[in-house]
Structure 1
């Protein structure tokens, strides 16, 4: 029986997919896998028994993925599972930035006790006049699962949509409307668009990607939306851009005290994926990926190891090996199997950065002695015999 430790509350609909061969726990000191949402793992001591970590969500900033890769532990996330929930909130953000709804509601509440409140509202409502989205230009930076949905939704509302993503995948491109215009640079979008919405991961290359130099060139009245990661835009840049009029509004799903004290900032309390449907979708996807790895050795949607899929094992045994990405590793592995007269029926070896994964279907029972000799190879991190008839 596999033991799954949860570090956050996980949708019961997702956990129900585990079935009878799994035990879900919050306390066990030696689980086979960990399932979490936003729990911060950086200061956590990871049990040696852990083989895989499933993040029920897309962001993995709360997980030390490189450190775990060096331990041979696979980390997977669930890209796209919460895409519709985030898309809908982005559309709301567009409307909020355009129609001064938040400030209008707050003002209306402030005069609720005035006996002439209805007349006062009619008199003062012009202070909260906004603009319509139809006919306006929006730049979508990042065309992954969420960006594609946002771009298509913006088109359906009559907006002129520009997309920028130099690394767009074939799968994303298939889902993107042909009416989305291709931008060749970030600066092109900043110069020409009325709205910009960010949908890129937070990595070294994207941190502070929207800087003051870019915003100085912005089209007057630009509205910036950030439902991706807070650190994509620096707070000081936002403040100066608002003060100098480079930005007219900043909508973020990642507010902090500094941002919440700025005028023309709409701070939403990280609600992007906060729907029952999204949490259920993320949990189900994460559970399926944990099961695929534990039961079949297949890696799906990993952030620190290569995806690797060989379906169901068709031979007597299957071996999964996480290791460093160095020359002659496969040769050393196969040499040990050959010495034990173990024939390889099928094999897949893939690498990602400094780490690699080798999956082998073999035609004989794999002994503990064979496993120990595989583990003794320099650079081998974990050896698992997944099936051993």
Structure 2
């Protein structure tokens, strides 16, 4: 074995459930990682759309990384109970989604789906005067321009901010609402965006309304039978977030009554496909080469830093915790966020004769996470003692080089 190689059994084993962009997999060097299908006892799982809810997830799994933003296909609560972080890639596909939102607005405003059907259907079968048929038929597809229209945005994360910026550059007036906007998002939001005080205010004032929120209990049927009628008559509703954020039934009723002019979404259903004023796309939001590569690279880097150093970034169920290595001996502990946990951890290490060189502890809801660098090696007996503390969910020993070496 060449110097610097790692024996097969000592490599991190990563189970890959979907096709992952090669650029992402390349971030996991083969000297330290084996990534592929059919791994019997994986240290981690890389996934895109595969449904893991019915999967028997091995006890060996220490992390799950989703090469995308949503994690509805992963049993996050069950993983939290095991002390397993679930990583995602927020913002990595934001530009792809932004461009599709713009395409959706243009398709609706200029009636492009109907025009394409006209050309492929009536004109394609025509045996007479084509120029005359074009002139007679095109009046059915008179549309309107985006400039001067009001775009309402619900959800001002990375995608929402990019859509707002692009819409302003197209000459649109933008109204935004997000009760949980982050500091980073607020900094990147164009100053021209007017702030709305509620979803209802956005619906009431937007000729176009686009939704960019996760699907959780609070956002399920965010647009529904009670509020969809607030939209200006003939308005366009766009949903590129998640299926379920809009009530399909409410959208169809609003289309039938004319209260809604067009519904554009990325989530086809049998009911929606039968309505010509619905523009359904086959879940194309992140389906670009660039987005898939960005997501794969982002989660692979996050996964590697966690497996090797215990650092956590962009986990949907854990706090963000990062600590540069100042020692070759590190312990990572996930535990319930309850009193005296740090005291018990520190006491156990002191009794084992270990000097704590550096420590960081963060919490998020019911979950807490601690990284501890000590000045000497850690015995298995201490790891077992830490794991036995009531409320501790997982313990990992991460010996490795210092970052300054």
Shared fold, TM over 0.5: yes
Task: State the TM-score, normalizing by the size of structure 2.
Answer: 0.94
- Residue 14 of structure 1 corresponds to 24
Mapped to 1, the partners of 2:213 and 2:250 lie a distance apart of 19
2:154 aligned with 1:138, yes or no?
Answer: no
2:168 aligned with 1:155, yes or no?
Answer: yes
2:201 aligned with 1:188, yes or no?
Answer: yes
| Distance apart, 1:130 and its partner CA | 0.7
Match of 2:336 among 313, 320, 324: 324
Offset from partner CA, 1:22-57 (integer Å, 9 cap, x none): 111211111111101011000001111111111000
Mapped to 2, the partners of 1:57 and 1:262 lie a distance apart of 30
| Distance apart, 1:113 and its partner CA | 2.1
Offset from partner CA, 1:321-351 (integer Å, 9 cap, x none): 1111222111111111111111111111112
Equivalences for residues 309-388 of structure 1 within 5 A:
309-311=322-324, 313-387=325-399
SS in 1 for 2:227: helix
Mapped to 2, the partners of 1:252 and 1:167 lie a distance apart of 24
Contact 2:225 2:247 in 1 (8 A): no
2:47 aligned with 1:31, yes or no?
Answer: no
Match of 1:92 among 103, 116, 119: 103
Mapped to 2, the partners of 1:25 and 1:49 lie a distance apart of 16
Task: State the TM-score, normalizing by the size of structure 1.
Answer: 0.98
Q: Where in structure 1 are there 5+ consecutive unaligned residues?
A: none
Offset from partner CA, 1:41-80 (integer Å, 9 cap, x none): 0000111111111100000000010111101111010000
Match of 2:229 among 216, 220, 239: 216
SS in 2 for 1:231: coil
Q: Where in structure 2 are there 5+ consecutive unaligned residues?
A: 1-10
Offset from partner CA, 1:208-242 (integer Å, 9 cap, x none): 11122212222121100000011001111111111
| Distance apart, 1:262 and its partner CA | 2.0
2:37 aligned with 1:46, yes or no?
Answer: no
Contact 2:228 2:251 in 1 (8 A): no
Mapped to 2, the partners of 1:213 and 1:184 lie a distance apart of 18
Mapped to 2, the partners of 1:316 and 1:79 lie a distance apart of 31
| Distance apart, 1:132 and its partner CA | 0.5
Query: Structure 1 segments of 4 or more deviating over 6 A?
Result: none
Q: May I ask how many residue pairs the two structures share in their alignment?
A: 388
- Residue 262 of structure 1 corresponds to 275
| Distance apart, 1:388 and its partner CA | 6.0
| Distance apart, 1:263 and its partner CA | 2.9
- Residue 253 of structure 2 corresponds to 240
- RMSD, aligned CA: 1.1
2:86 aligned with 1:78, yes or no?
Answer: no
Contact 1:366 1:388 in 2 (8 A): no
Contact 1:365 1:388 in 2 (8 A): no
2:133 aligned with 1:120, yes or no?
Answer: yes
- Residue 8 of structure 2 corresponds to none
